[in-house]
Structure 1
Amino acid sequence: MTSSRTALIAGASIAGPALAHWLSRYGWDVTVVERAPAPRTAGQNIDVRGVGATVLERMGIRDAVAARRTGELGASFIGPDGKVAGVFPAGASGVDGATAELEILRGDLSDLLVEATAGEVEYVYGDHVTEVEDTADGVRVHLRSGAVHDVDVVVAADGLNSTTREVFGFRVPVHHIGLESTYFTIDRAPEDDDYWRWYNPGRGRSVQLRPDPYGGIRAVLSQLVSPAWAAGSVRRTRAEQVKHLRGAFADAGWHTDRVLDGLVTADDLYYEHLGQVKAPQWFHGRTVLAGDAAHCASPLSGMGTTLALTGAYVLAGELARHDDHTDAFFEYERIMRPFVARAQKLPPFGPRLATPVSRFGVAAFAAVVKVVSSPPLRRLGDKVASRPADAVDLPDYRALVRL
């Protein structure tokens, strides 16, 4: 292996800082470029499962992640009458179900990952990649600011709608699932508890409330949309989105009026059309995709963070293990592809099962939840919600660590 190998990574959320951590420990010089003007501290609940938790352990930050868990106690489904239809306490069945052991806010995990690279990795905020060009022995990366970096490899790790992926020449359509979700924080009320509460008011809508470790409640308003419409829709402004949600959820009942009132003052509101990325190849030349930019599985999979952490660990390990970047990229894909394929398999009919349209569908969903959440069948319910979080033979690269 040669020394002073260099990499530029686009994206400072989860996959980017995780990859930077491992590369720096293998002796690489790493720069992470983030389009946002400052670290992104906002974000909803994400969970780390199976091999993802193993990666955190090998990074030496699993205890720090556990210390910043959201405190979520499990999942609670609310019936059409506003009463609890069924509860799935976390860990009650011995299966990692809807609520994982390591449940954390996205911004908190990102903060811990960036903190773990302090002093070893250069972070550049408010900039992004505009052009890459092959040179005789590397790749020249041009940034919007005019800065130029000559590096050995360049990585797109900037999410589902990655712009860097396009700059690299990858033409990868997003496969829209047909669900629009809006996320924001509201004040905690006396009637709130520490369960992930899921309420279906019908017409393909859901209202979700989840605890955070800072005394707030993370709200999610979701509604079914046409995948084709989602692919061609024009993004709404914040004001337009608030108006849209007020109209769409005005008659929803339960705690929805309170949630809609919270839209006005929420400073972390954002929305997305859920989708998956199925890139036919994750690299060419010295450019490579990582995290959601390569293989977004969507929040419905419950596997996005685990895939991002594991993929970053494998990509960095293979780059450390091989002198030739192409050999490393091939091995990275070979190891991760089957794992990603398993993780991207969503339940039949996608979100329509959990977000019924008709009154009958809402009542039927609540009835099924009531039966499956009963103690004799709870393990079955948790198995349905479990994820293939250990479906990869995780290599051990720790002998390669230099720092």
Structure 2
Amino acid sequence: MATDVKVPALGESITEGTLAQWLKKAGDAVAADEPIASLETDKVTVDVPSPVAGVLTETVAKEGDTVAVGAVIARVDEGATAASTPAEKGAETSPTNPPGAGETPAVRGDENAPDAAPQGDDHITTLSPAVRRAVLEHHVDPTAIRGTGRDGRITKDDVLAAAKAKESGAEPEAKAPAAPAAPAGGAAPAAPAAAKPAAAPGERREERVKMSRLRQTVAKRLKEAQNTAAMLTTFNDVDMSAVMEARSRYKDLFEKKHGIRLGFMSFFVKAVALAVRDVPAVNASLEGDEIVYRDYLDVSVAVSAPKGLVVPVVRNAQAMSFAEIEKTIAEYGRKAKEGTLTVDEMTGGTFTISNGGVFGSLLSTPILNPPQSGVLGMHRIEERPVAIDGQVVIRPMMYLALSYDHRLVDGREAVTFLVRVKEAIEDPTRLLIDL
């Protein structure tokens, strides 16, 4: 009996996605809840699991197709066996058209790749999400990579090593392909296609890559913020001496007790939580002709991911400890790299913190994340001469930038908010005594 595989619910307000990749091909045996396809939405990439165990008998949609929530993209036969199922709907099984002929490997992208992988290389089409993203990001051919994982599977480190070898001009260690069997009649196997010629010195090349759904959505939302909000940015600088000293003094004890490193982000999250109590408009939003004020703080923390910047949400940050904040951010960072963040984890923030300092940024004017009314930009720490008590001293300084929606937040409120953050960072005791 054939069972339909439908596009699952993708989150609030998301009605469709792009079929990014088939993880299984028609004719493959699948287990219940085993991912068979990867969908890319406006915010995350999600896997579509098989609802039952059986054989994937038919793929209805193609890679690159836009599919709606609830749409049928494949069918799985619970009673079939992999050996008796044709590899593709409508394909003829014959010596000149074997099962699987004409299929495009899920992530190969190499027009000279063989139609069928040698026995034992089936994992090429079932790479893990993290490995698939690394393959696409670095434009490497997985068929040419020798896997070091279990059962010869390719790991993310294998892909990165191949990309590094490609950049340096060295040839990565390739798999030894199985010798092709001679076809019926004793004819010799066809010679492999010739490799593409290397680029000539000084040759000018261009590459066109379709924007991912995530990148399209980011572009749309950022432009929307510029078009609708009355954005303005105010700046200040902060002496990081006290935070750096506290971090240096307690980092070992902190890590020993909580199992996580003490970073700077938790200090800023706590400082923002303190500041929004004095200036609630920065944590509010406009809905029509109404202002929505909140007694909670859900901080969107900008995290770098292979496909671009994502902003998972640290919920109820005002009630969290330093350790809870650091653990949550670290977990989100791991998920961002692996591409496993969920839609729920990236929606509903009320304020954003973006740390461009980790990339070396000295100063910037961050753009609002609608419908939020404020975003705090952190930057790199560098030693600069400052005047204190009539003396010029060298201190580790950081520029802070607050972009805000001037329709809702007055200039006085924005400056007051940024000063409150500055005071809390320069005197972290304020965070403890709620001052």
User: What is the TM-score when the length of structure 2 is the normalising length?
Assistant: 0.21
Greater RCO structure (CA 8 Å; 6+ sep): 1
User: What is the TM-score when the length of structure 1 is the normalising length?
Assistant: 0.22
